[in-house]
Amino acid sequence: GAVVSQHPSRVICKSGTSVKIECRSLDFQATTMFWYRQFPKQSLMLMATSNEGSKATYEQGVEKDKFLINHASLTLSTLTVTSAHPEDSSFYICSASLFAGQGKDYGYTFGSGTRLTVV
Amino acid sequence: AQTVTQSQPEMSVQEAETVTLSCTYDTSESNYYLFWYKQPPSRQMILVIRQEAYKQQNATENRFSVNFQKAAKSFSLKISDSQLGDTAMYFCALRGFGNEKLTFGTGTRLTIIP
């Protein structure tokens, strides 16, 4: 249980175009979704936190207008890389928080990632 | 602010041997959660083990166990009887009790040698 399906797994786009990455929670409601970026052989860098029905919270240094996050429903969160450039090429991973609230177990489930290449 | 430090960028060990990955952290919270995640070549993040800071007993999951030293803010992972499938990047991560954000360490690349 608690699976997050992330699509596409790989995408190549031309510089200047936009790309949308989707993360769907298949068997649970994802109140909170996290979006990470990972460069080769490096750790995961948190880009933003999205909560269903509200605006995403971006980490310092992340361009809000370039990385648009939408969390319109409890089962779908999307990341759109707008006007992509080669430096946006990276591996993007979403992760859903499984539980919330004081005293409850805390866990996460991760999408399988999207490798974005901008040419 | 929370920080997680993994001081071993790379490690290798013979199959069937035991290996320990180090992790230290810093947090101002008195209660928190610690995790070890594995990222194999497929790049899918997989939870290896989790420890609640308020529990004194070290967590174990089959061949995986942790040595949690709260006072020293240390959280090492021991892999016993290592297998080829254990080859992966291992990330230590920390989460505060009232904050859902995970803070990751820089990772340790573990290679199991046949």
**Averaged pLDDT score across all residues of chain A:** 90
- What's the confidence (pLDDT) of residue B100? 80
Contact indicator for B91, B25 with CB cutoff of 8 Å: no
Contacts of A100 in chain B (CB under 8 A): 100
Residue pLDDT, tens place only, B41-97:
999 999 999 999 998 899 999 999 999 999 999 999 999 999 999 999 999 999 987
- What's the confidence (pLDDT) of residue A104? 45
Confidence of residue A101 (pLDDT cuts 50, 70, 90): very low
Contacts of A112 in chain B (CB under 8 A): 42-44
Please check the confidence at residue B14 and state whether its pLDDT lies above 60. yes
Residues whose CB falls within 8 Å of the CB of residue A79, separated by 6 or more in sequence, listed in order: A20, A21, A23, A35, A47, A67, A68, A69, A92, A94
**B104 → closest Cβ in A44, A91, A106:** A44
Better-scored residue on pLDDT, B103 or A104: B103
**Number of Cβ atoms within 10 Å of the Cβ of A20:** 15
**B104 → closest Cβ in A43, A91, A102:** A43
**Distance between terminal CA atoms of chain B?**
41
- What's the confidence (pLDDT) of residue A3? 87
What stretch of H or E contains A4?
A: strand A4-7
Contacts of A30 in chain B (CB under 8 A): none
- What's the confidence (pLDDT) of residue A105? 56
- What's the confidence (pLDDT) of residue A52? 84
Is A57 strand, coil or helix? strand
d(CA B100, CA A25): 17
- What's the confidence (pLDDT) of residue B27? 93
Average pLDDT of A20-37?
91
**B101 → closest Cβ in A38, A46, A110:** A46
Q: Which two tokens stand for residue A82?
A: 């707008």
Contacts of A49 in chain B (CB under 8 A): 100-101
Average pLDDT of B4-19?
97
Confidence of residue A106 (pLDDT cuts 50, 70, 90): low
Confidence of residue A31 (pLDDT cuts 50, 70, 90): confident
**Averaged pLDDT score across all residues of chain B:** 94
Nearest of A97, A90, A66 to residue A79 by alpha carbon: A66
Residues whose CB falls within 8 Å of the CB of residue B59, separated by 6 or more in sequence, listed in order: B49, B50, B51, B65, B66, B68
**B45 → closest Cβ in A41, A46, A110:** A110
| Nearest-CA distance A35 → chain B (Å) | 11
Does the distance separating the beta carbons of B47 and A43 come in below 8 Å? no
Contacts of A116 in chain B (CB under 8 A): none
- What's the confidence (pLDDT) of residue A103? 38
Please tell me which residue of chain A has the smallest CA distance to B35: A107
Confidence of residue A99 (pLDDT cuts 50, 70, 90): low
Average pLDDT of A91-108?
72
Whether B57 has its CB under 8 Å from any CB of chain A: the answer is no
| Burial tier of B24 (Cβ tally within 10 Å: 0-12, 13-18, 19+) | middle
SS3 content of chain B, % helix, strand, coil (to 5): 5, 55, 45
- DSSP letters spanning B12-59: EEETT--EEE--EEE-S-SSEEEEEEEE-TT---EEEEEEETT--SPP
Nearest of A54, A52, A14, A57 to residue A35 by alpha carbon: A57
Does the distance separating the beta carbons of A46 and B102 come in below 8 Å? yes
Average pLDDT of A14-41?
92
Tell which A residues from 82 to 111 touch B, by Cβ distance under 8 Å.
Answer: 91, 93, 95, 97, 100, 102, 106-108, 110
Please tell me which residue of chain B has the smallest CA distance to A58: B101
